[in-house]
C-alpha cells in the first residue's frame, strides 16, 4: 500500500495527459457492492450527489441504521459486529449506493435514484438477512425520502 502512495505522489509532480489522469482516478476493480466512504469523502460526495439529484430531478433515500444489541457487549465484540454489518450492508446494496459508518454502530446509507415503493423492500431485505444470522442484534432504521421532480 505504501508503494501506491509513493506512485501517486510521483504522479502529482509530473504533468499528465487526460487518459493518464483518468486512469489514475478510476477504480481498479468495480465491486458489485455499495461504495463505502470515510467521513471526509462522504461529506464531499454527499454534497455533489445532492446537487446532482436536485439538478436532474432524481430521488434519494437517506437511511440511518443503528445496531442495538439485545444484551451487554464488550468493545471488541461490538466492533466485530459493526464490521460484519458494514460488509453486509455494502454487499446487499447496489454499487450506485453509498455507505458511511459513523462510530461503531451507526451507518448512513444513501439510496440514490430509488423509487419510493422500493425503499421498504430494500431496507427490509437488508435487515431480515442480517437478523437470520444475528437474531440478538436489532437494527433500528430512520428514513428520509426526497424526490426532486
**111 pLDDT above the threshold of 60:** yes
Q: Which of 132, 86, 91 is nearest to 105 (CA)?
A: 86
Mean pLDDT of the 90-118 span:
96
The yes/no answer on whether domain 35-147 falls in CATH 3.30.70.270 is yes
More confident residue, 24 or 139: 139
Q: What is the pLDDT of residue 3?
A: 47
Domain ranges of the chain: 35-147
CA distance from start to end of the chain: 43
63-82, pLDDT tens digit by residue? 999 999 988 888 888 889 99
Amino acid at each position: 500500500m505504501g508503494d501506491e502512495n509513493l506512485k501517486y505522489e510521483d504522479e502529482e509532480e509530473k504533468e499528465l495527459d487526460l487518459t493518464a489522469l483518468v486512469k489514475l482516478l478510476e477504480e481498479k476493480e468495480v465491486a458489485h457492492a455499495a461504495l463505502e466512504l470515510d467521513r471526509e469523502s462522504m461529506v464531499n460526495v454527499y454534497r455533489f450527489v445532492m446537487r446532482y439529484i436536485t439538478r436532474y430531478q432524481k430521488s434519494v433515500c437517506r437511511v440511518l441504521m443503528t445496531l442495538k444489541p439485545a444484551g451487554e457487549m464488550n468493545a471488541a465484540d461490538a466492533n466485530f459486529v459493526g464490521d460484519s454489518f458494514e460488509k453486509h450492508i455494502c454487499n446487499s446494496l447496489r454499487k450506485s449506493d453509498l455507505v458511511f459508518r459513523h462510530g461503531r454502530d451507526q451507518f448512513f446509507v444513501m439510496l440514490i435514484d430509488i423509487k419510493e415503493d422500493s425503499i421498504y423492500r430494500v431496507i427490509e431485505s437488508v435487515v431480515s438477512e442480517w437478523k437470520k444470522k444475528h437474531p440478538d442484534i436489532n437494527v433500528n432504521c430512520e428514513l428520509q425520502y426526497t424526490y426532486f421532480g
